[in-house]
Amino acid sequence: MFTVIGERINTTLEKVKEAVEKRDADYITNDVKKQTACGATYIDVNAGARIGCEADDMKWLLDVIQGATDLPLCLDSPDPKILEIAYGRIDQAPMINSISLETDRLNAMLPFLKGKDCKVIALCMDDSGLPKHSDDIVNCAKTIVEKLEQIGMKREDIFVDPLIQPISVDANNGAMAVEAVKTIMQDLKGVHTTGGLSNISYGLPQRKIINRCFLLMMMAGGLDSAILDPMDNKIMAVLKTGELIAGNDSFCMNFLKSVRAGEIRS
Ligand code: THG
């Protein structure tokens, strides 16, 4: 089954930031309930935007969100200390977002992850910065999966993120990500692939149509998870139709169910 990571609880979004500042639990509760109803599998929680407040904001958000949904959470921070605090505050196995091959992050995250009951997102990035070729991404993926397997993690618990970069910056960034996902799914059998889809459309108008088309191309490469807005019903319709066409919907059951529920219309 495709894993949808709902991206809306992120303090870089102005409304979320305001709600967190005011400790407006109703706003967060309402949003999380909607993401849940729209078909999220995980709720991403990113409290990074208010400098110096990340730990307190994260704790408050986790308490509110867990009162609003039964879904597991995707703890989104580059800071291993924040992830430790967050992990201690939740009552269901989370997804940890994220680990990478950057030396400091890797050295802090491997001991943290060892023996823990969780999934993890592995960013294909090392100390040399953002990948420039799909081979860089695939090589990063292979190294990081090997390191995670060495500490006892199973491939089925690893979500490899090729690090999607804007198409406005380099015309090859879309094809590079698709190619990387294809090779990762072939060469590292058993892992999942995911990513922040909307990165692709950064800096362009009409971003949602770009995100939707990109999702479908990534799914053709084997993508089986994405960080997206589940309340965008058009991207969710593309997702479900993509699953149908990719052969992941036996007897078209899910597609037909979504049509009957009014979630998919031509
Ligand atoms: N990989 C991983 N984690 C990630 C990302 C990734 N976490 C953060 C980010 N990228 C994914 N999360 C979001 C959350 C919200 C939005 C986009 C990505 C969003 N953006 C608005 C848009 O796209 O139109 C604009 C922002 C705004 O309104 O301020 O909603 O790549 N592992």
Kindly report the protein residue whose alpha carbon is nearest to atom 6 of ligand 1.
Answer: 196
Model confidence pTM above 0.95:
yes
Q: Does the CB atom of residue 49 touch ligand 1 within 6 A?
A: no
Rounded Cα distance between 132 and 169, Å, is: 12
pLDDT of residue 248: 96
Rounded Cα distance between 180 and 124, Å, is: 10
CB 95 within 8 A of CB 159: yes
The predicted model gives 43-65 an average pLDDT of: 97
Structure confidence by residue, pLDDT tens digits, 92-151: 999 999 999 999 999 999 999 999 999 999 999 999 989 999 999 999 999 999 999 999
pLDDT of residue 138: 98
pLDDT of residue 24: 98
Q: Tell how far the Cα of 74 is from the centroid of ligand 1, in angstroms.
A: 13
Q: Does the CB atom of residue 99 touch ligand 1 within 6 A?
A: no
- Relative to beta strand 95-101, strand 42-46 is unpaired
CB 224 within 8 A of CB 181: no
Q: Does the CB atom of residue 35 touch ligand 1 within 6 A?
A: no
Residue 98 preceded by cis peptide, ω within 30: yes
Nearest to 6 by CA among 41, 30, 33, 37: 41
Q: Does the CB atom of residue 199 touch ligand 1 within 6 A?
A: yes
Arch. (CATH architecture) of 103-230: Alpha-Beta Barrel (3.20)
pLDDT of residue 205: 98
CB 159 within 8 A of CB 148: no
Helix, strand, coil percent content, the chain, rounded in steps of 5: 50, 15, 35
Q: Tell how far the Cα of 84 is from the centroid of ligand 1, in angstroms.
A: 22
Mean pLDDT computed over every residue of the chain: 97
- Provide the percentage of residues in the chain whose pLDDT is more than 70: 100
Q: Tell how far the Cα of 13 is from the centroid of ligand 1, in angstroms.
A: 9
The predicted model gives 189-195 an average pLDDT of: 98
Nearest to 32 by CA among 235, 229, 263, 207: 229
- Count Cβ atoms within 10 A of the Cβ of residue 20 and give its class: 0-12 exposed, 13-18 middle, 19 or more buried: buried
The predicted model gives 235-245 an average pLDDT of: 98
The predicted model gives 253-264 an average pLDDT of: 97
pLDDT of residue 93: 98
Structure confidence by residue, pLDDT tens digits, 61-83: 999 999 999 999 999 999 999 99
Query: Residue with structure tokens 């939740």?
Result: 90
CA distances from 150 to 20, 114, 182, 247 (A): 39, 9, 24, 33
pLDDT of residue 206: 98
CB 223 within 8 A of CB 213: no
